[in-house]
Structure 1
Amino acid sequence: MLALREATVADSPRIGVIGRDSFGPTLSRILFPAHLHHLARTDAATEEAEWRAARNTRRIKDGKKTYVVVDKLEDGSEQIVGYAQWETPDSLPPTAKPQTASETEVDVLPPSLDQDALKEIFGLMEVVTEQTLGKEGHSQMWYLMILGVDPTQKRRGIGKMLVKHGLEQAAREKRDAFLIATPEGKYLYSLLGFEQVGEEIALGDVAHYAMLWKRPREEGEEVLN
């Protein structure tokens, strides 16, 4: 049985593994390229999972809203099968910009990670976000930083559960939502009401799409973003 709950720091190791396995065919092969694998202290796959776990922990401590879907098993145990992490207006200090390339400077980066590729990807995301949404970017929106689902658990509605949960909260706060989608995620986001804004962009050699979700407005209400 699937259930959604708020994530804790203790969930980070499992989240790191899911993140690595989710993005293996896309960004992971760019961020952890084969020619750097020999630099790994253990192995590149382990380093990536640990890096993603540490980054998840930092973001939780920074106030990023993080949720997991767990599969509750017959023996009473549970296994995390997907997660989503959102940056929201209340998770940003008053003078802070939304997530930017500077985030790459606060984590310990493993040797098998291509640091130049990471900075290039974050920098491009920042540029695309500002071009699409203006100077404020997504600072007044719910921004889906990352969505990961265990590849062995696909077609169970896990990603849909996680995204809908975030959108419902955004709607209660009278906020819109924004994300940058991979080709694999674009279809799901479209089904949930996101629309592509701007042209297709390439992060590394992988196509990505800036997508915006606008919550239903009530007649005469104040629009916050």
Structure 2
Amino acid sequence: MPLQLRPATEGDFLTLGRISKRAFPHASGLLFPTHLRQGTSSPTNISDDDDEVRWRAARMLSRWKLGSPAYVVVDVSGGSGDPSNKEEVVVGFAQWQEPGVKDPLKARGGAPHLLPATLDQDLIADLMERLPSEEKKAMEGYETADMYYLLMLAVDPSHQRRGVGKMLLRHGIDQATAEGKKVYLTATPEGKPLYLSHGMKQTGEFDLFGISNYVMVYDKECS
């Protein structure tokens, strides 16, 4: 299987913005609703000019520049199945917040970023307030400042069920374990089975965007 994992580079982040939009269509439709997109790009547009793609890419790039590493899995055959074609195609990524690093994107969706007019700014403000609050409740008793936090893991839907998510998660868990650190994250229903299969346990559940979200932790001592 022609998949390889490598650290993300600055030139990857627009692609990561596209993948995260494709991977989370429910959240995408809520954050960038049709009525705000009217007169701009269509809800399904994932071109370089799409507000959502650029906003997602800018947030992840800012985190990367301020100390939150990202890793990508690439298909080195270019997705063509031709082993002679060595063009890389990024098919998934994970971004981590390392222990002791504070997330710079807490206030209203990531100020000082320009928030697009097509973004539901009240909804993103509510998200940025509720998510840390719910995670804090679920992680009571843990020193989260000394843990690895999975900010996002996303796989291009056209490349799912190839082991991409497993590669990304295993890499992060292995790195944390080597440093004697725990890992935590918030999972969607689609992602929960992957995390359970890697020995993570659920510590809390809450509703967000009309779906259940699960706070989960990997603690080698308890797995």
Structure-1-length-normalised TM-score: 0.87
Q: Distance in 2 between matches of 1:173 and 1:72?
A: 30
Q: Distance in 2 between matches of 1:172 and 1:21?
A: 33
2:94 to 71, 84, 87: 84
Name the amino acid aligned to 1:66. Answer: A
Q: Distance in 2 between matches of 1:36 and 1:177?
A: 37
Q: Return the offset for 1:205.
A: 1.0
Is 1:97–1:139's contact at 8 Å kept on the other side of the alignment?
Answer: no
Q: Provide structure 2 residue ranges, at least 5 long, that are not aligned to the other structure.
A: 78-83
Q: Distance in 2 between matches of 1:195 and 1:134?
A: 14
Q: Return the offset for 1:98.
A: 8.1
2:85 to 50, 75, 99: 75
Pair 1:159 & 2:165 matched: yes
Q: Distance in 2 between matches of 1:121 and 1:135?
A: 23
Equivalent residue, structure 1, for 2:27: 27
Q: Provide structure 1 residue ranges, at least 5 long, that are not aligned to the other structure.
A: 218-225
Is 2:8–2:70's contact at 8 Å kept on the other side of the alignment?
Answer: yes
Is 1:13–1:53's contact at 8 Å kept on the other side of the alignment?
Answer: yes
Q: Return the offset for 1:99.
A: 6.1
Specify whether residues 137 and 121 from structure 1 end up closer, same or farther in structure 2 by C-alpha distance, changes over 3 A only.
farther
Q: Distance in 2 between matches of 1:204 and 1:103?
A: 15
Q: Distance in 2 between matches of 1:39 and 1:104?
A: 25
State the SS of the aligned residue for 2:127: helix
Identity, % of aligned pairs?
Answer: 38
Equivalent residue, structure 1, for 2:182: 176
Corresponding residue pairs, total = 210
Q: Distance in 1 between matches of 2:39 and 2:202?
A: 38
Structure-2-length-normalised TM-score: 0.87
Q: Distance in 1 between matches of 2:133 and 2:111?
A: 18
Pair 1:205 & 2:210 matched: yes
Q: Distance in 2 between matches of 1:156 and 1:135?
A: 36
Specify whether residues 136 and 215 from structure 1 end up closer, same or farther in structure 2 by C-alpha distance, changes over 3 A only.
closer
State the SS of the aligned residue for 2:190: helix
Is 1:130–1:137's contact at 8 Å kept on the other side of the alignment?
Answer: no
Aligned pairs for 1:110-149 (under 5 A) are 110-134=116-140, 138-149=144-155
Is 1:8–1:60's contact at 8 Å kept on the other side of the alignment?
Answer: no
Q: Distance in 2 between matches of 1:190 and 1:64?
A: 24
Q: Return the offset for 1:100.
A: 3.5
By percentage of residues, which structure has more helix? 1
Q: Return the offset for 1:128.
A: 0.9
Is 1:130–1:136's contact at 8 Å kept on the other side of the alignment?
Answer: no
Specify whether residues 39 and 60 from structure 1 end up closer, same or farther in structure 2 by C-alpha distance, changes over 3 A only.
farther
Equivalent residue, structure 1, for 2:69: 65
Equivalent residue, structure 1, for 2:60: 56
Specify whether residues 31 and 102 from structure 1 end up closer, same or farther in structure 2 by C-alpha distance, changes over 3 A only.
closer
